[in-house]
Amino acid sequence: MFQNLTQGASISVLYRNIPRVADGRVTSVNTHMPTYNPQQPLAMMNGPVTDITVQVGNETIPFAGLPANGVVANFPEKGYFIATDKSAVLREIEAMATASKQVLESVPAHQKMVKDCEALLIELSPEKKMEAQQIQEIASLRSELAELKKLLLASSEQNKKTE
């Protein structure tokens, strides 16, 4: 539990954005009742909180308002997940990997959805339909221009050979 940590204790820090795990050393611990916050009036009923400061390499990271009887805490805005036990960090890494795999598996379905929605927009919106036709015409003209360039170049090469 966070309230049982002492100065010098080891704590695991998962950097969610990188991802990597580092062992940190607790440099300070302070367990106290939370201060009253009008936006969260029920927070006082959750009991004491613990503030800790952790040293990871040259970096000093403060973690405030941890549940005193908790063993894990998530700080998504800072990209940290901390735990007093490495097995909790392992479970979090597995959860991150599972979530990312699910996102990757859903990519083809989302690509199809985008394609189908774009086709539907073109079908239902006169402006989009006209824009799509113009894009198609421009692509066709570019293709024809490239063919003409090839023919001109071939013709020019033929003329040079006959001279």
**Rounded percentage of the chain residues whose pLDDT exceeds 90:** 66
What is the maximal distance between C-alpha atoms in the chain? 98
Reply yes or no on whether the pLDDT at 52 is more than 80: yes
Sheet holding 10-15, edge to edge: 59-67, 49-56, 20-32, 10-15, 80-83, 72-75
Reply yes or no on whether the pLDDT at 37 is more than 70: no
| Between 108 and 47, the higher pLDDT residue | 108
How many Å apart are CA 56 and CA 18, to the nearest integer? 15
CA dihedral for 153, 155, 156, 157, sign (positive or negative) = positive
Q: What is the reported pLDDT for 42?
A: 62
Domain ranges of the chain: 2-84, 96-152
Q: What is the reported pLDDT for 131?
A: 86
